[in-house]
């Protein structure tokens, strides 16, 4: 016997039970109520539904036959009619409710079989879902292992050195944005030393460390001493593009000479394109107790410079000319041409992109000999530009700054410290 089942879905149990009651009536028999998880790519954004399965108790009871009144048979002279057996009819009528109960019991048995089948299917589905989740996790883990293996293969393919320690040196240097050709120069010939001579790690660290220090060279701090027979004080000129921190750097350096060495320093600023720059330098000068003159035109230089003849040195802060602005660059050339006894310092920010830095030093190379001051070490994670610019220009390095505090956040560049930072964890 086939039992027809009815399925209803909704957001809550109350909703699906109402649907079943309205359609099947009060005699509906509920088989299962369960939550259905959404599937497909949108399963993470949908809420579970409630599913109700029911059957309808549609058992027709046969009506009890009415007992007809037995009429006395008419006497027919020639035909004898048998009386109906009333007892047999009554027995048949009594048997009908029993048959109905037996049919109902059979239906209930089939319903329970269907319910058990549905529950078993639910268990199977849940088991499959659990296995699918485990399979997804396993697949993710395998894909991660494949990616790691690919990265290791790529790394091995890109290796430049047989020695693992040398390869780590090379990677550290390149990750610090040191040009690959410079990194190769610093490690030149060391692979053979490891393979053929068995050079130890400590020996390799020492060799590379010393090569970086030698590559940077001995720093050249500012010297304000007058040369013998020199009538005018030594002039220190700071040049560089806009935004590299020239004004703050000149304040730090003059503070070192004024406060630490008790020198008499004069200040001149030609940065009249920015009112804030003039006011900033005047503020520093007032705090340090030194004189400052504003140079509005190169024609005023001789007159203003005469005011500082008796001083130990004069520091000049020039305007931050863009290396792309030829007109202002010519003005800077005219100013430098008027100064005889001078040292020029090009100020470069370590936060500047290396390509732009190359363009800057190539443009400023027209100004003749200069030394280099690096600023804003605190604004970058890499120091490769120090080696790159040294290699590109062969200019001597002087100071490095690492903050806004005057005069604390400045020091003469230390090749040993730079070497340690470039080698990472492989400190000497």
What pLDDT does 187 receive?
93
With 0-12 / 13-18 / 19 or more C-beta atoms within 10 angstroms meaning exposed / middle / buried, residue 14 is exposed
Q: Which two tokens stand for residue 349?
A: 């920010």
Distance CA(154)–CA(163), nearest Å, equals: 17
In order of 133, 220, 253, 349, 390, the CA distances from 410 in angstroms are 59, 14, 8, 13, 19
* CA nearest neighbour of 393 among 374, 380, 378: 374
* CA nearest neighbour of 8 among 75, 199, 17: 17
What pLDDT does 77 receive?
54
What pLDDT does 66 receive?
47
Model's pTM, two decimal places? 0.62
Q: What is the mean pLDDT of each run of 10 residues along the chain (428 residues)?
A: 80 87 82 81 74 75 49 51 58 69 78 80 82 80 70 60 89 94 93 75 90 95 84 91 90 93 92 75 88 90 92 90 70 89 94 92 87 95 94 95 90 95 70
What pLDDT does 25 receive?
81
At a CB cut-off of 8 Å and minimum separation 6, what does 294 contact? Answer: 268, 269, 272, 278
CB contact at 8 A, 99 and 123: no
Find tokens 């039992």 and name the residue: 3
Number of Cβ within a 10 Å radius of residue 38: 12
Crossing angle for the helix pair 201-216 and 415-423, nearest 10 degrees? 130
Q: Which two tokens stand for residue 343?
A: 């040292």
Domains of the chain: 234-412 (3.40.50.300)
What pLDDT does 152 receive?
53
What pLDDT does 78 receive?
53
What pLDDT does 44 receive?
65
């Amino acid at each position: 016997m086939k039992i027809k089942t009815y399925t209803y879905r909704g957001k809550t149990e109350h909703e699906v039970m109402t649907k079943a009651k309205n359609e099947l009536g009060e005699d509906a028999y509920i088989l299962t109520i369960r939550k259905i998880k959404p599937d497909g790519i949108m399963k993470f954004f949908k809420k579970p539904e409630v599913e109700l399965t029911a059957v309808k108790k549609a058992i027709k009871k046969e009506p009890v036959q009415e007992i007809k009144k037995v009429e006395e048979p008419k006497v027919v002279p020639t035909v004898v009619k048998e009386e109906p057996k009333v007892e047999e009819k009554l027995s048949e009528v009594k048997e009908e409710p029993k048959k109905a109960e037996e049919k109902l019991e059979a239906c209930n048995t089939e319903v329970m079989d269907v319910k058990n089948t549905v529950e078993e299917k639910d268990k199977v589905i849940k088991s499959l879902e659990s296995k699918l989740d485990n399979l997804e996790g396993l697949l993710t883990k395998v894909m991660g292992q494949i990616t790691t293996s690919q990265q290791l293969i790529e790394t091995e393919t890109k290796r430049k050195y047989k020695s693992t320690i040398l390869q780590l040196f090379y990677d550290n240097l390149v990750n610090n944005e040191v040009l690959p050709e410079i990194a190769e120069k610093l490690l030149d010939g060391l692979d053979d030393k490891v393979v053929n001579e068995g050079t130890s790690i400590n020996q390799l660290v020492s060799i590379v460390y010393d090569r970086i220090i030698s590559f940077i060279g001995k720093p050249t701090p500012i010297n304000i001493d007058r040369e013998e027979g020199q009538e005018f004080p030594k002039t220190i000129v700071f040049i560089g593009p806009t935004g590299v921190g020239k004004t703050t750097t000149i304040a730090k350096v003059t503070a070192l000479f004024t406060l630490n060495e008790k020198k008499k320093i004069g200040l001149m600023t030609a940065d009249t394109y920015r009112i804030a720059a003039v006011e900033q330098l005047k503020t520093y000068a007032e705090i340090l107790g030194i004189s400052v003159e504003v140079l509005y035109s190169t024609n005023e230089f001789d007159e203003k410079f005469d005011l500082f003849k008796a001083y130990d040195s004069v520091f000049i802060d020039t305007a931050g000319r863009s290396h792309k602005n030829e007109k202002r660059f010519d003005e800077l050339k005219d100013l430098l041409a008027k100064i005889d006894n001078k040292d020029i310092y090009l100020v470069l920010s370590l936060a500047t992109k290396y390509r732009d830095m190359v363009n800057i030093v190539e443009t400023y190379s027209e100004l003749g000999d200069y030394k280099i001051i690096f600023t804003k070490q605190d604004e970058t994670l890499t120091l490769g530009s120090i080696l790159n610019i040294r290699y590109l220009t062969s200019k001597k390095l002087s100071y490095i700054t690492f903050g806004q505090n005057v005069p604390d956040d400045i020091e003469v560049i230390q090749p040993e410290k730079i070497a340690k930072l470039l080698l990472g964890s492989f400190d000497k």
